[in-house]
Structures are given as C-alpha cells and as structure tokens.
Structure 1
C-alpha cells in the first residue's frame, strides 16, 4: 500500500520550505568512508550491505522512534502478589533485537570468518545511527564470550546460545533457548569504578555459590544472565548469574529502573541478590582480571557508537540543509553552513577510521595486535566520545528550532551522546588507564609509535605536530595533564590514519584544523580547506 501524501494546503497557509520525509536511506551504500574502511580493514561487506540497507529504511527509523517513545516497563509482581521481576518492551524494540541478532551483531566476531571484529564494529556504527538503545544488551553479549573461556564447562553451555543468530526473548533456562543475551552487574554505590570496594558477598554452596548484596547499576536486566563481581573467601571474584533456572526464577530482584537522560529504549536498573545462585568464572580472587576481558571488548563498542551517533546526526542535518532555503539560497549553498558541516564530517570520518583500525587489531592474533588493541581502543573511546556531544549539538543547530523538537531524531542523538563516554570507564578513568598501559606495556607504546611514524614525511604540519608532542612530553605526563596528553595523542593517531588512507582533502583539512592550529575552538573554521570535496563524500 502506498501512503498518501500529507495535505500541505491548510486553512490559514500553505506548507512551504519544509523538507519532505526522506524515505529510505541506505546506510551502507551512502557512506563512502565506511565502505573504503571495510575494504581496507578486512570486514565483511556482504554482511554489512544488507544490514545497512535494512536499518536505513524509513519504517525502521519509525520503529526506532516507537521503541524510545514507549519505554521499558518494570513488572515486579503478578496480580496475586507473586514476585516476577520482569521488564517488558515495546514490539519495536524486539524488532531491532531480532534484526541485529540475525545479522550477527553478537556472533560474527566469534564465527572464525575473517574480519569478524571489524564487521561487528561496523554494525555498532550502523545501528547507532537508528536505534542505539538495543545495542547495549548485544554489546555485552558479544563481549561476554571471551570472558566465559575462563570457565570451559560454563562456556560450553552458554557460548553457543550467546553466538546464536536466533533472537529468543522467552523466559526459560539457557538450555531451552534458541539464543541468549548476557548483561553485566558490577558497580555498587560505595565504589563506582573502584570495583574492589564491592561488598556483595559470595558463599560456596556445593558446585555453585550464593550471592547476597546490591548492585547500583545492572545493565540490561532482562538478559538471560549477568557477569558480576562479588567477594568470595579468596577475594573479589567473577560470577555468572543465570536469570532463569529449571522450573523457577533465580532470586535476582529488580529494585527499580533508572530514569536516565537518554538510552530510553534500553532498561538499566538497580538489583539485589538475595541468596542468588551463581557460578564462578575463573579463580577466586581474580575477578577483575577475568571480567576485564569483557570490559576490553565492550570498550570497542563504546569507541564505535559515538561515530555512529555523529554520523546519524550529520545525516539529519544534511537532509535538512539540502531542502531548506533561507535568504533566497538553499542552506547547503551558504558558505558558512558548508564550513560547519564539513568540519563535522571530519570528526565523523576520523572517529570511524580510528575505530575500524582498532577493530582490525582485535581481529589480529599477534602480541603486537593485542598490544595495539589495548592502547588504541582507549584512545578511540576517550576522544570520539568527547567529540560526540559537540557534533550532535552542531547538527541540531543546523536545523534551527526544529532540531530541538522531538519530531526529529536530533534530541535522541544529543541525549545519547554522553553515554558511551561514561560507560565502561569515564574520561579520567580511561586517561589514567592509558598512562598505565604505556608505562607497563612497552609493546603497546611501540605499536602506537609505529602507527604514528607511519605517516611521517607526507605532511610537514603532521611531522611538526608529532615532534612538538614528543618535545612537550618526552616521558609520560603528570596525572593532571593526562587529558591534554591523551587528546593530542588521539588526534595524531587519527591524522596518521587519515593521511595514509583518506582522500587528500579530508587529510589536509584535518591536519590543518586539528594539528596545525588553523582553527578556533568553535566548529566551522575551515579556511583553505576543500569543503566541497569533504561534503561530497557524505552521499
């Protein structure tokens, strides 16, 4: 059935100078930078092409709005007062989960085909442009698989379900399901990022444990299980808490859903363990080392999501300015608007190219790959998330008052923009982690240095910026300068990748504005840059 157009001849006026609904948008075919990066880094274009085309359809964008307009509902009790502790979702949320699970969002990295992590990272980028909330449970499901290897028998039962391409929201034990998702419950009120301050207690009970305590943040409480930390006799230990047992519900009690700034389609909660059955993952006392494998992989997603959010916001701004006129000219033809949009495009492409290069290191198997993945993912997470709120706001402003109205997706992107910078280590935590990595892992510093020097000799401005960085910090900086140090390091790494792989117009403009100082602190200083060439890459 073809939808009839809305009436534009109204009683008091005619609707003019308003962009028509965009219709379907192919997120893969319309993104030259993504397609080039996937070809270069070894991702699976045959997987990404249909996924990007599906997500970009107008009906999927409408479903994304529905999933966020109808927030998850916490149902604690049935009508008789029996405890349920369920979270119920709008059908549109389940539609996204089904689409992304079938595309391999949580599975493709573990299916042993080449480029699995690169492909997964690109899926995060694509999904974040349409409905970022459903990414949370799938990201943790993806990241849990390597952590479970510390408990081979548990992994044997759970890993096939976590890497299934069948979405199964049924409340049933994992053995009875076609597919499963896994969440995370680590932080507590008194400790936050300092998980060693956790007080949740674990008591041995035969071949399993019983947990008792409170978790201040439990991501995705509707999951089939959680990885969690608790204090066992030998110290802080990692556990798998199954949500559903044979014939009964495990005693995971949801206290409330968090009323969050954004991420409305996804449930986040506080929970209590009340003698809750759990299985140990790894040795007692080695909980941080065990779960850090999951954190490492979730950080890849928190580095890719801001690139997708920025791209989604920029795409909305582009559609508006191409179909809106002011002062007798289309907005897209006005030099200052073009400069702003091109400047935003540099942030998007830089975040994308760094994220996918990092993902290739996750696909690698050498010590050098692993070392580079550790340092690069932290740099990408920190810097891309610092840029995301700025880029989404500027895209919002391009629409004027309409950008501030919920009829457009810009408010959703803006609310979402701070999330990934906070989740899995806020800015200060990440910067201190980078300093520790560079101090304790010489190979990480060596692989980073190799990436930076690979671009020398191509642009004297880049060479000068790299020398200035090394002169300013011949050794690691004091803690108080960590953010400044990390920002410059991330910009240099992005510039190195763009110089080597992006079109000359993109690399030149990025180097001039981010490294050579030919810009102010406000978006839109693009004098001397080939703005048209940059904008032409956006489709």
Structure 2
C-alpha cells in the first residue's frame, strides 16, 4: 500500500484521476434568444398580413418566451403530469385536477397577453394575425396548455348565438385574469371554456351521441336543461364551463355547461379518469359522466352542430398554427445543433447532404407559417365574402396538410441531431410525441378531407375562393401553372371523389402554399418550394431536394438571427 510518505509509481494517473476528457464539439443549450426578432419569416408574415402595429409587442413577447427560465417551464409542466382528485379527504366529490405550478405559469402568461381573447376584446385590423404570432411563439415553448387557451378563444362566436348568455359570460372569458380556483365561475374575475362533443360510440360522428337533455321548465334556446349521459374526450376538465352536445326531442343541440350550478353547488359533471396520453401530457383530458348536469341551451334547438361548428373551425385553425409552431421549434433545434457540431472535418451545416435535409425542413416550415398567417388575415377580414369563403375551405385543407406533415418533420429534425435528440432531456422527444396530436384532435385527416368535399358540394363559392387565391400567382411559376391546370381537370371527374379525397386535398394544399409563397415575395423560397414540391411526382422523404435549389440561402434565412 502506498502511504503519503511514499512516491507514487503512477504520477500521471494521480494528476489526471478526475479528468477523463474535455467536452468538445457539442452545441450549447438553445436558450436566451428572442423567438420573434430571430425569425425572419415570422416578422415578414406579420407585416405582410396586417399586423405591423404589433411588432414591438411581439418583439417583447418573443424576448419573454425565449428566456432560459421560461423555456424550463415547458419541461417542468410535461415532467409533472396533472393528477385527478375525485374527492376531498372528507369524502366530498370535488373532481379536482391538480397541475404543476409551471403549467399555471404558462396559462397565466397566455391569458395575461391575450392569447385567449384579444381579437374579441380588442378587435382591429391584424388582431388575429398578432394573436396567432403570439400563439406560434408560445407553442414552441409548450404546446399542451394551448388546448384550454384555444377553446376559450374559440368559444366566443358560438356563445354569441345566445346573446343573453354571452352578456354574462363573455366579459369573464375575455378577461386577462387567470384564476385556476375550483369555485363557481361568477365568483371569479376570469374563466376558461372547454368543449365536450365526442362519445364512446360515435367519435367524430357526433350525430350518434346518446347524451340526453331534459328541459327543467320551458324548452328552447337560452333555457335550462339537465343533461344525462357521458363524454369520452373532455379536454381541460378544469375549465369553468364547456360547450357540449346533447339530444333533445328536436335533435342534437348545443349547451353551455358550467362546473358549478348558479346556487354554488357542484354540477354533477363527474370525471371518471384522466386520459393516459402519449403526448400533450401537460394538459389533462378526461372521461366524464353527466348525472343530471345543469346546462343552458345555446342557439337553435336541434341545430347543435351548426352552433358549435364555429368553435370547431377556430380550434382547427389553432391546430394548424400549433403544428406550424412545432415545425419551427424542430428546425430551430436541428439548425442550432448542426451549426455547432462537426463531423469528418467540417460543420454539419456545411455538408451538402445535411444542407439538403435542413433546407427541405426549412421550406416546409415556412410554407406552413405562410398559409397559417394568410388565414389569420382572412379571419380578420371574415366579413368580406372572399375571405369568408376561403376560411371555410382552406382551414380544412391547411389543418389536414400541415398537421399531417408535422410528425415526419419532427422525426427528421431529430435525426439531424442524432442520438442526443432521442434523449428525454432534449426537446425533441416532446416535439415528436406532440406531433400527431393536432392531426387527430378536432377531426382527423379523413374528416378534414371529407369536409373539403362537403364545402365544394354545398358551398361552391368556397371552391371559387380557393381558385381565386391560387390564381393570383398564375404565370409566375410554370410548375404551379401546371398544378393548377391538373387540379381543374381532376375536379371534372366526381365519380371517385371520396376515394381520392386525400390525393385531391394534397394537391390543393401544395398549390395553395406555393401560390402564397410566390405572393409573399421571396423568390428563392417560392421557386425552391415549387421546384421541390411540384416538379416531382410520388412520395419523397425530406432531404431529396432536386438540383437547382439554393440550400445555403434557405438555411441562412431560417437560421436564428441572434
């Protein structure tokens, strides 16, 4: 044994005992950056679509959401899932879902900055554009809490079908005060609204719903009913009230169902369990039973789908926005990694094959953002016939296409990072698990495609609006011109419309994105997108851009401007 008086036979071993290696060739954590000022495409789209008045506000919000401590909230909210407490310790039914403080902080930020209400409480040109840009940034930090924010935002148009209810509830809904307390809504300064449509036996086929509504007194709009039945997917069960569908003698109708009765007693909307979701885990989704739950009818009796579809349309828009945000978050991570990681003698971002992948991912991200922000502009101008018709058909097109493209986009970005991107302390696993959610929520891909066909059949003016939009770029790119002509021909044969619906909507989506990119004015982005998406046939993986694409220019545009 060597003593302190003896000289070691291995002096270098003792000297280096605690130092096995120096960490090199690894990127830093992507934190402390401004999500707005570093995003060229987002800044341009806000200005282009009428939101220039909000640039400073958005820059301030981008600085807030990019802070290290704020980014950490997203991790904490997802690492600490919500927990259901059906009863208190004395045996009283409480149906309380408890969340980590990080979740409440995210909710508070969203509500304080008007992500749930600003176009309704402060309507002006570009209000939807600025609100969408804020949501786009906030969703990159944490997407799941956006569910109650979206539903609260989307509830207003449906609720306005019943003016006397809107007069009571709208000031609470649009308030910028977040109050998560499990108490009656009228005792709060601000509330959130959820939605409960689907049941076990029907899913998207809500006309198969079996929940019954029984009038307490006189039947009809604005009157009180008791609801008996179940709901299989209730997202954000801690919302203060829900828009739900139930059957009356005249058919499926819409109701506003609060968690507490007007007399202060608990409404018997009972949570059976929380859904064990693979993604979107920071937010709670639940199964519930309605045991005579009190609710007010909203809108015309028997016209519940017509009443609630206004809410559904806006939630579908936010699904499209959320998936676009997921793409931006993914390409940010991939670009940051490849800028700081070298292999085989040079940085990954300088290697031609990696450039092909990164540029392709960046093109997809900017195309998604461009379509999303154009429809935000259309929401601001919904009183104009063209934009109203465009919203009707293009929301379904965009929701289908963008949400469908996101999962593989997240995977490819993860592959750019390699093994480190698979680790749970990276953002990528959360982005990957989140990526299928928006494609399924609020109507899956098939539902969206069928909705496009329904719009074309029942409201031909919507298809006219679509072609008016894409024709604005006629003559600017030969590939787009060919695609438009092919679409016209495809629409002549209606014999296999439903069978071929996905193929048709795929073409409509890519043509619309190509046209909007051309109108946006960046020639490199527009020409590259048309070449990549319209000049080739068949399915292609990301990273198969054809010869002639300026990958370096695309990457430089997408890279964070720090």
TM-score (structure 1 length as normaliser)? 0.96
Which of 25, 29, 42 does residue 21 from structure 1 map onto? 29
CA contact (8 A) 2:234 2:286 kept: yes
Which of 171, 175, 184 does residue 186 from structure 2 map onto? 175
Partner of 1:47: 57
Aligned to 2:336, the other structure's residue is in SS state helix
CA distance in 2, matches of 1:114, 1:172: 36
CA distance in 2, matches of 1:22, 1:299: 30
Q: Does 1:302 align with 2:295?
A: no
> How far has the Cα of 1:439 moved from its partner?
1.4
> How far has the Cα of 1:11 moved from its partner?
3.5
Which of 505, 521, 531 does residue 512 from structure 1 map onto? 531
CA deviations 1:233-275 (Å, max 9, x no partner) are 2211100011123432111100000000100100000001011
CA distance in 2, matches of 1:350, 1:10: 50
- The 5-angstrom pairing of residues 146-157 of structure 1 reads 146-157=157-168
CA contact (8 A) 1:519 1:525 kept: no
> How far has the Cα of 1:518 moved from its partner?
7.7
Partner of 2:445: 427
Bigger radius of gyration among the two:
2
Q: Does 1:244 align with 2:260?
A: yes
Taking structure 1 as reference, are residues 268 and 520 closer, same or farther at Cα in structure 2, changes over 3 Å only?
Answer: closer
Partner of 1:209: 225
Runs of 4+ off more than 6 Å: none
CA distance in 2, matches of 1:386, 1:21: 29
Unaligned runs of 5+ in 2: 1-16, 218-222
CA distance in 2, matches of 1:217, 1:108: 27
Which of 539, 542, 551 does residue 523 from structure 1 map onto? 542
CA deviations 1:95-138 (Å, max 9, x no partner) are 10111111110111112122122222222221221100110000
Which of 544, 547, 554 does residue 534 from structure 1 map onto? 554
Q: Does 1:225 align with 2:241?
A: yes
Aligned to 1:136, the other structure's residue is in SS state helix
- The 5-angstrom pairing of residues 348-387 of structure 1 reads 348-364=365-381, 365-387=383-405
Unaligned runs of 5+ in 1: 1-8
Taking structure 1 as reference, are residues 518 and 481 closer, same or farther at Cα in structure 2, changes over 3 Å only?
Answer: closer
CA distance in 2, matches of 1:189, 1:416: 23
CA deviations 1:7-39 (Å, max 9, x no partner) are xx9532222221122331211001111111111
- The 5-angstrom pairing of residues 308-327 of structure 1 reads 308-327=325-344
Partner of 2:220: none
CA distance in 2, matches of 1:298, 1:126: 17
CA distance in 2, matches of 1:244, 1:57: 38
CA distance in 2, matches of 1:151, 1:464: 48
CA distance in 1, matches of 2:46, 2:331: 21
CA deviations 1:128-173 (Å, max 9, x no partner) are 2110011000000000001001111110111111111111112222
Taking structure 1 as reference, are residues 297 and 10 closer, same or farther at Cα in structure 2, changes over 3 Å only?
Answer: farther
CA distance in 2, matches of 1:484, 1:23: 40
Which of 339, 343, 347 does residue 330 from structure 1 map onto? 347
CA distance in 2, matches of 1:250, 1:262: 30
Q: Please tell me the root mean square deviation across aligned C-alpha atoms, in Å.
A: 1.4
Aligned to 1:399, the other structure's residue is in SS state helix
Partner of 2:505: 486
Q: Does 1:473 align with 2:473?
A: no
Aligned to 2:24, the other structure's residue is in SS state coil
> How far has the Cα of 1:323 moved from its partner?
0.9
CA distance in 1, matches of 2:489, 2:394: 22
Aligned to 2:95, the other structure's residue is in SS state strand
Taking structure 1 as reference, are residues 407 and 437 closer, same or farther at Cα in structure 2, changes over 3 Å only?
Answer: same
Number of residue pairs aligned between Structure 1 and Structure 2: 531
